[in-house]
Amino acid sequence: MDVMSLFTKNAGKSPEDAKFFWSGGPIEVAPRAWFASVFSGVTAFETDEGVVLVDSGLARLGPMLAGMIRMRTRAPIHTAIFTQGHVDHAFGLRAFLADGQPTPRIVAHRAMPDRFARYARTAGHNVAINARQFGGTVRASTESGNADDYHTFGPPSIPPNVLYDERVDLTVGGERFEVHHCRGETDDHSWVFAPERGVLCPGDLFIWAVPNAGNPQKVQRYPWEWAAGLRAMAAKKPRTICPGHGGPVVDDAARIEEMLLETADFLDDIVAQVIEAMNDGSPPHVDIVHRVALPVSDRPWLQNVYDDAEFIIRNVVRYYGGWWSGRPSELKPPPRDALAHELARLAGGAAALCRRAEELLARGEPRLAGSLADLALEASPSDPDVQARVAAIYDARAEDEEGLMSRNLFRSAAAYAREGRPFR
């Protein structure tokens, strides 16, 4: 199942039931303010001078989101604020503008243009990692056109025209809107607070899931600054929250405070444990992963629905450490296929590695099963029997995963196995 269909499936359910996967709206979140979400959320604040719009959705879904907001207000867009340069937040604005309307003020953090330049420079890489994040291969996603939104790299057609550094306060229709920078999921992330209506728009700094602070394929994320940002948001005492993904919470300051502060504690706990492990002899990265006791919570906003808390460990190690895993053989390693051939020879062939991987999987050892399956495929990538057996192991691992990211990356691993691991 692709990501978008999960959101469509949950359209219309109450925001509390569907959480991260909720799609719907428009919901009145404060006087003259409405929230709608299809995959990602937008918030529109009507003022006497026009609308302040926070985020704009995917280019493809902008018309649907704009249609929902326009059921409640026809006022022109006075100011748009993009909470980040990702395709699901900064690319849907055109649909909100009336025909012939001059470009409104579009506010974003100063780092956003650099993000668009990075995407353009690494377009082929981004095609590949997005195909994997959605559970497929480059070949499959190119043929299906399934991930069109994620194959567009470079700036949006209407880019930001006002950049700020740490914080900017905007006054529209006599009302103040605070825009704060916070490095978190991205280095160009902003959160918005409308003090008079008590509405917080945290962007993807809150998404009804374990923070997307570990994403295995993406550039550096900043869980410690993220936690500080969540505490700064809580200090504003918002009455209503309109998150980057999932449904809003309206007029429940106590619950919102719990959501923000518990998420901050969750991130700080992981960061502190990783730094302690690094300071205690800086063991190989895998050892740090297994040493950290991940915080556990039954709160709906702290589940591995999308990203995975384990990946946040890796992200902290990467920031404070180097690229070397710490295993001596991986400082100057042999090509993987050479190593795989040696181990397959010792084991009695790639089929023997597959057989043992299947036994380990059946015994409840999916991580070990995966390691042997990788070696089997690397030793015999064009053997149809090995391809099918390795694919089956990764399909099974995908089924076991709670988080969308892990599930899709394992699904992608199965797809690559069936294609003989071509990576192009």
Report the alpha-carbon distance of residue 308 to residue 209 in Å, rounded.
Answer: 9
Least separation, in Å, of the C-beta of 233 and Zn ion? 17
Contact flag: residue 88 with Zn ion (CB under 5 A): yes
- Give min distance, CB of 232 to Zn ion, in A: 20
In the bound state with Zn ion, the residue whose beta carbon lies nearer, of 175 and 225, is 225
Supply φ then ψ for residue 42, to 5 degrees: -130, 150
Taking the complex as a whole, the smallest distance from the CB of residue 264 to Zn ion amounts, in Å, to 19
Binding to Zn ion (CB under 5 A) within 22-81 occurs at 40
User: In whole angstroms, how close is the CB of 212 to Zn ion at the nearest point?
Assistant: 8
Which candidate, 109, 273, 294, 114, places its Cα nearest to that of 188? Answer: 109
d(CA 43, CA 21): 17
Measured from the CB atom, is 40 or 133 closer to Zn ion? 40
- Applying CB under 5 A, which part among 103-111, 200-208, 257-265, 313-321 lies near Zn ion? 200-208
Tell me how far apart the alpha carbons of residues 109 and 130 are, in angstroms, rounded to a whole number: 24
Question: Whose Cβ is closer to Zn ion: residue 191's or residue 416's?
Answer: 191
Rounded least distance, CB 208 to Zn ion, Å: 12
Number of residues that bind Zn ion (CB under 5 A): 4
Residues 6+ apart with CB under 8 A from 63: 92, 95
Is the Cβ of residue 91 or residue 394 nearer to Zn ion in the bound state?
91
- Which residue's CB is nearer to Zn ion, number 7 or number 394? 7
Q: Check the CA dihedral 73-75-76-79 and report its sign.
A: negative
Positions in 241-270 near Zn ion (CB under 5 A): 244
SS3 state at 144 = helix
Contact stretch for Zn ion (CB under 5 A) within 3-11, 27-35, 238-246, 261-269? 238-246
CA 201 to chain centre: 17
Q: Is 187 in the site for Zn ion (CB under 5 A)?
A: no
How far from the centroid of its chain's Cα atoms is residue 366's Cα?
A: 24
Q: Of residues 46, 55, 187, 204, which one binds Zn ion by CB under 5 A?
A: 204
CB of 84 to Zn ion, least distance (A): 7
Q: How far is the CB of 45 from Zn ion (least distance, A)?
A: 20
Contact predicate 167/178, CB 8 Å: yes
Nearer to Zn ion, 164 or 306 (CB): 306
Q: Which residues contact 325 (CB under 8 A, 6 or more apart)?
A: 284, 285, 286
Give 40 or 273: the residue with its C-beta nearer to Zn ion: 40
Determine contact, residues 247/289, Cβ cutoff 8 Å. Answer: no
307 binds Zn ion per the rule CB under 5 A: no
Q: In whole angstroms, how close is the CB of 41 to Zn ion at the nearest point?
A: 9
Q: Which of 411, 422, 388 is nearest to 134 (CA)?
A: 411
- 169, 177 contact by CB (below 8 A): yes
Minimal distance, residue 183 CB to Zn ion, in Å: 16
Q: Name beta bridge partners: 178.
A: 169, 193
Which residue number, 210 or 390, has a Cβ lying nearer to Zn ion?
210
Nearer to Zn ion, 189 or 397 (CB): 189
**CB-based contacts of 194: which residues, under 8 Å, 6+ apart?**
30, 33, 45, 52, 175, 176, 177, 178, 200, 201
Q: Which stretch binds Zn ion (CB under 5 A): 47-55, 67-75, 85-93, 348-356?
A: 85-93
DSSP state at residue 10: T
Q: Which is nearer to Zn ion, 89 or 132 (CB)?
A: 89
Contact 267, 228 (CB under 8 A): no
Q: How far is the CB of 207 from Zn ion (least distance, A)?
A: 7
Cα(81)–Cα(42) distance, integer angstroms: 10
Question: Which CB, 87 or 369, lies closer to Zn ion?
Answer: 87
Count Cα atoms within 13 angstroms, Cβ side, for 368: 12
Q: In what order do the strands lie in the sheet with 167-172?
A: 167-172, 175-181, 190-194, 199-203, 240-243
Distance of alpha carbon 106 from alpha carbon 103, whole angstroms = 8
**4: enclosing H helix or E strand:** helix 3-9
Site string for Zn ion, 92-131 (x = CB under 5 A): ----------------------------------------
Provide, rounded to whole angstroms, the least separation between the CB of residue 185 and Zn ion: 8
Binding site for Zn ion (CB under 5 A): 40, 88, 204, 244
